[in-house]
Structure 1
Amino acid sequence: MPLRLPPLPALRFFEAAGRHQSFKLAAAELNVTPSAISHGIVGLEAALGVELFVREPRGISLTASGADYLSYVSEAFSLIAIGTQRLPNHRADRPIALSCAPTFASRWLLPRLAGFRARWPNVNVSVDTSHRQVGFPVDGFDFAIRMSRAPVAGTAWTRLFGERFVPVCSPAYLETLRETRSDEQDNGQGSGQVNVSLRHATLIHVNAASEDWQAWLDATGTDGTDGTGGTDGIDTNGGLRVDTIQLAFEAASMGLGVALGRRPLVDSDLARGALVEACANTIASTTAYWLVSAENAESAIRRPELADFKRWLVGEAAQFDTQAATQEAHR
């Protein structure tokens, strides 16, 4: 007797909506309208006789039944994807698919890919920088590079390296921050020492960043919570706000203020002089870059190039991390 399955397109809609917790994001991923997602799931709920989502004005969330069902549906799609990829000669020449943030891709990954291509000239790499969650292996990605404080269960995580934060600005803007400090009250001599302070600076904030100016101020012991406390009096509430790290660096290079430089992403700007360090206080981030993949993906899919790429990328990260630590020690 044949299995009686729910409509497969509706299951695909449900899997994406459940993973994103959003009809809109699921629609963008599957290239359909949010209305199509909603209607498909309504039909699925009717066919199953179970409510899968709680619909509220602020968004959707899975019901207990929906969350339980999603685990089975996601596993089923993963098995189909893996089985398809393991067919003899199935897309044997397809590129390695990698998802990562655009700034990381342009400033760290792409400059190093020439080295990978030199060693494996017949292996192609596809880099996707869209801001969306990645489901392994359903979405067709082999790897993702993500920022996180710790690994997340259900996938394989390999730590690459962490960032270091240092305030940066354009050379011209730095001159506007220089102050002449008189020490007459201290020793009666008036040294005229030049000092750089951020208290009059326009801070450039990145809205989506999990760590930003407040983290730097806290770690360096600077009071900047309300613009009135402490000796520096740095106001974290004002300033310029942008939605990407790339825009923050560009705004700083244009003299619009001081951005929180994230090494290694800001290294190329510092090297060519477009940006300079506004002060020497550098702190380590609490998050790190991780290489993420499906568990045992390199062996299960029988694509040796995946293992080669992972070893190469982890090696590049280790080499960079060692160099960065040496440079920081010399600083």
Structure 2
Amino acid sequence: MPLRLPPLSSLRFFEAAGRHCSFKLAAAELSVTPSAVSHGIVGLEQALGVELFVREPGRLALTPAGADYLVYVSEAFSLIAIGTQRLPDKRARRPIAVSCAPTLASRWLLPRLAGFRECWPAIDVTVDTSRRQVGFPVDGFDFAIRLSRAPVAGEGWARLFGERHVPVCSAAYRERLLDEQGRPDLRRATLIHVDTASEDWQAWLDATGIAGVPTTGGLRFDTIQLAFEAAAAGLGVVLGRRPLVDREIESGALVEAGAPSIDSHGAYWLVSSEGVDQRPDLASFRNWLLEEAEQPAREHAGS
């Protein structure tokens, strides 16, 4: 007797909503309306005879039964995706799909892609800079570049490089910070914050032991790019993240504010989907990216 399965479309809605704990984010990922996701999950709950989510104003959470079911559904979709990837593909090879934060994509990955294309002109690459969480292999990505303190168990993680945090500002603004002895004083500065950064001014102050610099107020932005541009415009001091801020420092648009630099607790990691070694184009891209990440370390060691 064939197995009786719930509607696969409803299961897809459930997997995305359970992963995000949000109907809205699941709908955006699947290119449908939140209402469609909600109705699909209600139908699934009715078919199964069990509640999968706790719905409260402003809050969506999995029930214990829903959390248990999500493990099986996610694994099932992963197995289907892996099996599909292993099929011999007689069509033109699909592009390599990479998920990457927008600032890292524009400042580190994009300038290097020309070199990759010179070596492998027949391999196309798609870069996605949306902020959504990526699920391997269900979402169809081959790689993701993520900032994290440590690798996550069960996935293929390889360290690319770390960040070094250094306060930077425009040269003219730095002159405004000088005290009577001609030394920059951050207590006079307007601090520029990045709300989405995992480590910002408070982490820097804690690491350096510098006191008396207020972290409340100042200017706040949701992207590192805007924060760098605000500092270059003379609006304050931003916590520069090297190597992302190297371009501005080398051009003189930003200068070090005369304060200590520290190593970030996190690092950028290349996360690979399962089966990368079975596709020569994916293996070539991964090896190339790891070699590119080693170049600054080699150059620094040789200087």
Calculate the TM-score normalised by the size of structure 1. Answer: 0.88
> Contact 1:84–1:90 (CA<8 Å) still a contact in 2?
no
Residues in 2 aligned to 1:198 and 1:85: alpha-carbon distance in whole angstroms: 54
- Give the equivalent residue in structure 2 for 1:131: 131
- Give the equivalent residue in structure 2 for 1:215: 203
Residues in 2 aligned to 1:162 and 1:281: alpha-carbon distance in whole angstroms: 17
Letter in structure 1 aligned against 2:207: A
The share of aligned pairs that are identical, in percent, is 73
- Give the equivalent residue in structure 2 for 1:199: 187
Which of 290, 294, 298 pairs up with 1:314?
A: 290
Q: Secondary structure at the match of 1:179?
A: coil
CA offset digits 1:74-99 (Å, max 9, x no partner): 11111222222222225541111000
Letter in structure 2 aligned against 1:110: L
Residues in 1 aligned to 2:179 and 2:227: alpha-carbon distance in whole angstroms: 25
Deviation, 1:281, is 0.8
Going from structure 1 to structure 2, the CA distance change for 1:325 and 1:249 (only over 3 Å counts) comes to: farther
> Contact 2:141–2:273 (CA<8 Å) still a contact in 1?
no
Going from structure 1 to structure 2, the CA distance change for 1:322 and 1:102 (only over 3 Å counts) comes to: same
Deviation, 1:323, is 3.2
- Structure 1 unaligned runs (5+)? 182-193, 224-232
- Give the equivalent residue in structure 2 for 1:323: 299
Alignment of 1:69-88 (within 5 A): 69-88=69-88
Alignment of 1:47-126 (within 5 A): 47-89=47-89, 91-126=91-126
Residues in 1 aligned to 2:222 and 2:253: alpha-carbon distance in whole angstroms: 21
Larger Rg computed on CA atoms: 1
Deviation, 1:220, is 1.2
Residues in 1 aligned to 2:199 and 2:302: alpha-carbon distance in whole angstroms: 24
Letter in structure 2 aligned against 1:86: R
- Give the equivalent residue in structure 1 for 2:17: 17
Residues in 1 aligned to 2:30 and 2:300: alpha-carbon distance in whole angstroms: 41
CA offset digits 1:236-265 (Å, max 9, x no partner): 112101111111001001111000000000
Alignment of 1:245 with 2:221, yes or no, is no
RMSD value, Cα: 1.4
Residues in 1 aligned to 2:121 and 2:31: alpha-carbon distance in whole angstroms: 33
Residues in 1 aligned to 2:247 and 2:217: alpha-carbon distance in whole angstroms: 28
Deviation, 1:324, is 4.7
Letter in structure 2 aligned against 1:267: D
Alignment of 1:275 with 2:251, yes or no, is no
Going from structure 1 to structure 2, the CA distance change for 1:174 and 1:41 (only over 3 Å counts) comes to: same
Residues in 1 aligned to 2:257 and 2:99: alpha-carbon distance in whole angstroms: 33
Q: Secondary structure at the match of 1:55?
A: strand
Residues in 2 aligned to 1:112 and 1:12: alpha-carbon distance in whole angstroms: 36
Letter in structure 1 aligned against 2:276: E
CA offset digits 1:88-127 (Å, max 9, x no partner): 2255411110000000000011111111111111111111
Going from structure 1 to structure 2, the CA distance change for 1:64 and 1:92 (only over 3 Å counts) comes to: farther
- Structure 2 unaligned runs (5+)? none
Residues in 1 aligned to 2:91 and 2:217: alpha-carbon distance in whole angstroms: 52
Q: Secondary structure at the match of 1:178?
A: coil
- Give the equivalent residue in structure 2 for 1:256: 235
Residues in 2 aligned to 1:25 and 1:90: alpha-carbon distance in whole angstroms: 34
Calculate the TM-score normalised by the size of structure 2. Answer: 0.96
Alignment of 1:305 with 2:248, yes or no, is no
- Give the equivalent residue in structure 1 for 2:245: 266
Letter in structure 2 aligned against 1:298: V
Letter in structure 1 aligned against 2:42: V
> Contact 1:85–1:91 (CA<8 Å) still a contact in 2?
no
Going from structure 1 to structure 2, the CA distance change for 1:218 and 1:324 (only over 3 Å counts) comes to: farther
Deviation, 1:132, is 0.4
Residues in 1 aligned to 2:302 and 2:197: alpha-carbon distance in whole angstroms: 27
Residues in 1 aligned to 2:22 and 2:91: alpha-carbon distance in whole angstroms: 32
Q: Secondary structure at the match of 2:179?
A: strand
- Give the equivalent residue in structure 2 for 1:186: none
Question: Deviation above 6 Å: which 4+ runs of structure 1?
Answer: none
Letter in structure 2 aligned against 1:168: V
Paired residues in the alignment total: 303
- Give the equivalent residue in structure 1 for 2:46: 46
Letter in structure 1 aligned against 2:281: E
Letter in structure 2 aligned against 1:308: S
> Contact 2:157–2:271 (CA<8 Å) still a contact in 1?
yes
Letter in structure 2 aligned against 1:218: D
